[in-house]
Amino acid sequence: GAEGRPSAGGAARPGLGPRYRSSVGRTEEWPVKKKHRRRPSKKKRRWKPYSKLSWEEKQQFDERQSLRASRLRAEMFAKGQPVAPYNTTQFLMEDHDQEEPDLKTGLYPRRAAAKSDDTSEEDFLEEAAEEDGGSDGMGGDGSEFLQRDFSETYERYHVESLQNMSKQELVKEYLELEKCLSRMEEENNRLRMESKKHGGETADTARVQQLELEVDRLRAENLQLLKEKDLPRQEKGPCQLGE
Q: Is the pLDDT of residue 241 over 50?
A: no
Q: For the residues 33-39, what does the mean pLDDT come to? A: 73
Read off the pLDDT of residues 147-205 as tens digits, 9 standing for 90 and up. 778 777 877 777 777 777 787 888 888 888 888 888 888 888 888 888 777 765 555 67
Please state, in angstroms and rounded to a whole number, the distance separating the CA atoms of residues 163 and 139: 37
pLDDT of residue 38: 74
Each residue of 100-117: pLDDT tens digit?
555 555 544 454 444 444
Quote the pTM value. 0.26
Residue 144 confidence (pLDDT): 78
